Amino acid sequence: MQSLAFLVALLFFSSLLCGPIALIITRIHPVSRNREIAKKIAVGLLTMWGSLTGVNFIFALSGTVPRMLGIFAVGTSLWAVKREFGAPPKLKEE
């Protein structure tokens, strides 16, 4: 039972911290091309993990706090993706 509680706590903290850590990483301005690629990979992995665990908490049959945590995790992860990779281009109106 203790290992299950440890696993749940690990999922909670990872979903809580992945988005904000990715946002902090987006503020770093790399000096070389290799560091820029490493930054993009780090942001991509953190946001992917934060989004996946956040969606799991949103759709889990549990209380309000895990759902709010999931919404926070998905929101901050999407914000970090938007800051790092930019918003999608608008479609041309003809």
pLDDT tens string 20-42: 999 999 998 989 999 999 999 99
Is 18 within a domain? no
Q: How far apart are CA 24 and CA 90, in angstroms?
A: 27
Q: Which domain holds residue 43?
A: 32-82
Residue 66 has what pLDDT?
A: 86
Could you tell me the pTM of the whole model?
0.81
Is a pLDDT exceeding 90 seen at residue 63?
A: no
Per-residue 3-state assignment (H helix, E strand, C coil) for 40-80: HHHHHHHHHHHHHHHHHHHHCCCCHHHHHHHHHHHHHHHHH
Does some domain include residue 90?
Answer: no
- What is the rounded distance in angstroms from the CA atom of residue 53 to the CA atom of residue 12? 8
For residue 77, is pLDDT > 60? yes
d(CA 31, CA 79): 23
Q: Please count the structural domains in the chain.
A: 1
DSSP 8-state assignment for residue 10: H
